[in-house]
Amino acid sequence: MKTRAAILWEPHTEWSVEDIELDPPKRGELLVKLAASGLCHSDEHMVTGDMVLDPELAEAFGLKQFPVIGGHEGAGVVQEIGPDTVGFEVGDHVVFSFIPSCGRCPSCSTGQQHLCDLGAFLLSGMQLSDFSYRHHAKDGRDLGIMVGLGTFSPYTVVNVDSAVKIDKSIPLEKAALVGCGVTTGWGSATYAADVQSGETVAVVGIGGIGMSAVQGAAMAGARHVVAIDPVAWKREKALTLGATHTAASMEEAQPLISEITQGAMADKAILAVGLATGDLIAPMMSLVKKAGRGVVTAVANMMADEVKLNLFEMSMMRKELVGCIFGNANPRYDIPRLLNLYMEGRLKLDEMVTTTYTLDDINQGYQDMRDGKNIRGVIVYD
Ligand SMILES: NC(=O)c1ccc[n+]([C@@H]2O[C@H](COP(=O)([O-])OP(=O)(O)OC[C@H]3O[C@@H](n4cnc5c(N)ncnc54)[C@H](O)[C@@H]3O)[C@@H](O)[C@H]2O)c1
Ligand SMILES: [Zn+2]
Ligand SMILES: [Zn+2]
């Protein structure tokens, strides 16, 4: 079929919205008509060149990251099902999980679906079922899809392992957000940081991910949630979504957290800035107390390997520094769980969407993200 998509032909260029050809789903795949796609910062890392496979390594493994259809935060309705594919019906409503879950690998079978072995193939852009392509450019060239999804298109073909069925009463436009940002941020607080009631939590960077971490920390019963971001209106917004205090920078947060904890400092800190850099780790870890934990959720340049960190404090104050992918969540369990909380009015999703765009306005959407104008920008399809 013919449809349209926002393609990144190579890093350091804009998204190009073009007509494309989409093949029908093969075995183990679904054709889905999307309702919406969030504009997560992770797609931006391909534009800036931060999340780009090493060309030599890619060639050695026969992987081709570009051209790629972006987008990985989507929800929609199943239109067609590949042959011999069980578990789905036409008309089912699905949220895409940016990490697939095969259900059989060591990680999936031990309750760690966010580490599913299929994750290894996600930047190749190929279909997970047979490592080929369903999306093609006007000139016939194969198009990869971001993490096996490619939600910057009103229609896409994805593997069943990436689709989580949800109740039809849930608005798809909002459900899209739990496919990445909301689950990642909320789980950064509830799983990775393991926030307990009465704790003090610092969230560094309050965009789509950080604002969801603020909500997660508040829901877990944190006593203080300190939202840190240079953008003033986001700090105001955070106060309406569970933050108890705000600061414009980690430097400014240091004396504030010291004061509200009588010098003890925060139990947990979560790094959710746009781009993680090594110089942010020492200041984040200095916000946490003895035996406190720092969580790195923000994505760094793939080649970055230098970190500033006070190692004396790490051992003598028994601090922990941990990584976090998809909020350490289990998409098949946590996506429906979070949507239940949304439907009951407890998890705020409507408030997370600042601006909606058409697919043609995608570059404006990302410019607004860079300019600090959005908690989450969302592309809405017809
Ligand atoms: N680990 C995962 O599984 C996962 C999943 C999704 C996104 N991410 C990553 O999480 C990060 C955040 O994504 P997002 O969509 O929320 O981005 P965003 O651009 O919406 O938000 C980032 C926020 O950080 C703020 N910021 C920048 N530098 C700061 C600093 N030094 N101190 C305090 N605040 C600062 C910005 O003002 C902005 O509000 C990105 O790196 C993204 O790639 C990780
Ligand atoms: Zn994302
Ligand atoms: Zn798996």
Label residue 187 by pLDDT band (50, 70, 90): very high
C-beta separation of 297 from 184 below 8 A = yes
Residues with CB under 6 A from ligand 1: 40-42, 45, 180-181, 184, 204-210, 228-231, 234, 249, 272-275, 297-299, 324-326, 369, 372
Nearest ligand to the C-alpha of residue 162?
Answer: 3
- Considering the chain, what is the average pLDDT of its residues? 97
3-state secondary structure of 300: strand
We find that the CATH architecture of domain 2-179+349-380 is: Alpha-Beta Complex (3.90)
Q: How confident is residue 63, by pLDDT bands cut at 50, 70 and 90?
A: confident
Split at pLDDT 50, 70, 90, the class of 135 is very high
pLDDT tens digits for range 266-305: 999 999 999 999 999 999 999 999 999 999 999 999 999 9
Rounded to 5 degrees, what are φ and ψ at 367? -65, -40
Q: Which tens digits make up the pLDDT trace of 327-342? A: 999 999 999 999 999 9
Same fold, 2-179+349-380 and 185-325: no
> Is domain 185-325 in CATH 3.40.50.10470, yes or no?
no
Q: Report the atom number in ligand 1 closest to the C-alpha of 234.
A: 39
Place of tokens 């098949």: 332
Domain ranges across the chain: 2-179+349-380, 185-325
Measured CA angle at 145 (ends 140, 149), to 5 deg: 135
Q: Which string of DSSP letters, residue by residue, matches 219-271?
A: HTT-SEEEEE-S-HHHHHHHHHTT-SEEESSHHHHHHHHHHHTTT--EEEEEE
What are the tokens at 344?
């009951």
Beta strand 288-296 with 16-22: parallel, antiparallel or unpaired? Answer: unpaired
What tens digit of pLDDT does each residue of 242-256 get?
999 999 999 999 999
